[in-house]
């Protein structure tokens, strides 16, 4: 569903992403771990078509994103690190607009149901989102993804800044989407959450994918140690 083949992005002499190859199948959650500047967000931006690759290909549902920028968007939902909504519109209105942009015409009841599925309290449905917390906005983002019935979900550090409860709720929502056969690629710093929800985990550094694991085959302490070693934080490794 989500595939990259030798995907490379250079800015002059600087290589932001170096020959990344990975695949996320339907019903899988792939977590990309790495420090800032590792190339995680670049990967997501290339998969969204926001950036053009220097070489290699990014495929969504078998279609090259670079040459099918608009049509591949039909299959993707995206939740950025700090998902922002229109503050003067209510949650329902935001969902209605963004799903409308994605080509969906949904009745009010469906919009409410989607927000409910995404975990938003019903008393917040008709409140302006200007006063929403980040967790509440992320839930609207999930509702947008649900409305789109996206086959692929790209998340760029969605849990950063969320309190543990909100982060936990968010993880559960992703598990739900996984069970609906959505292919999920998530860039994150959160090793604990990655281990909890991912089917596959990759560790990136300086634009390269250095390590890949099947989540069930690695324990959290080993993952943490491997991560720290990979990042050259040897003094912190056990």
Q: Which positions lie near other proteins, rule CB under 8 A? A: 48-50, 69-70, 73-74, 76-78, 80, 82-89, 93, 96-103, 128, 141, 144, 148, 154
Give 3-state DSSP helix, strand, coil % of the chain, rounded to 5.
40, 25, 35
CB of 213 to other proteins, least distance (A): 28
Residues 6+ apart with CB under 8 A from 57: 3, 4, 5, 6, 7, 64, 65, 66
The residue among 49 and 53 lying less far from other proteins, judged by its C-beta, is: 49
The residue among 107 and 165 lying less far from other proteins, judged by its C-beta, is: 107
The residue among 73 and 151 lying less far from other proteins, judged by its C-beta, is: 73
CA angle, 173 then 50 then 167, to 5°: 20
Dist CA 65 CA 164 (whole Å): 35
CB of 21 to other proteins, least distance (A): 23
The residue among 10 and 74 lying less far from other proteins, judged by its C-beta, is: 74
Contact by Cβ (8 Å): 86, 129: yes
Residue position matching structure tokens 């409140």: 127
CB of 78 to other proteins, least distance (A): 4
The residue among 16 and 154 lying less far from other proteins, judged by its C-beta, is: 154
CB of 72 to other proteins, least distance (A): 9
Dist CA 222 CA 13 (whole Å): 35
CB of 97 to other proteins, least distance (A): 5
The residue among 94 and 215 lying less far from other proteins, judged by its C-beta, is: 94
CB of 214 to other proteins, least distance (A): 28
Q: Is 183 left (phi over 0), alpha (psi -120 to 50) or beta?
A: beta
Contact by Cβ (8 Å): 2, 23: yes
């Amino acid at each position: 569903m989500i595939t990259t083949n030798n995907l490379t992005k250079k800015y002059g002499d600087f290589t932001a992403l170096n020959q990344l190859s990975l695949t996320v199948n339907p019903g899988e959650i792939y977590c990309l771990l790495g420090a800032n500047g590792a190339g995680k967000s670049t990967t997501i931006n290339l998969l969204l078509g926001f950036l053009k690759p220097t070489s290699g290909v990014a495929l969504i549902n078998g279609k090259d994103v670079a040459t099918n920028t608009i049509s591949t968007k039909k299959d993707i939902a995206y939740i950025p690190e700090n998902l922002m909504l229109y503050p003067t519109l209510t949650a329902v209105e935001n969902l209605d607009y963004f799903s409308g942009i994605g080509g969906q015409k949904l009745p009010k009841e469906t919009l409410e149901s989607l927000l409910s599925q995404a975990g938003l309290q019903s008393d917040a449905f008709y409140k302006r989102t200007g006063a929403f917390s980040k967790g509440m906005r992320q839930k609207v983002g999930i509702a947008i993804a649900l409305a789109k019935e996206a086959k692929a979900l790209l998340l760029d550090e969605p849990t950063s800044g969320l309190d543990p409860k909100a982060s936990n709720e968010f993880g559960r929502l992703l598990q739900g989407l996984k069970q609906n056969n959505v292919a999920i690629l998530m860039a994150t710093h959160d090793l604990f959450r990655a281990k909890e929800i991912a089917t596959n985990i990759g560790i990136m550094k300086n634009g390269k994918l250095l390590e890949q694991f099947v989540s069930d085959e690695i324990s959290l302490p080993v993952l943490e140690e491997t991560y720290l070693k990979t990042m050259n934080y040897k003094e912190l490794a056990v």
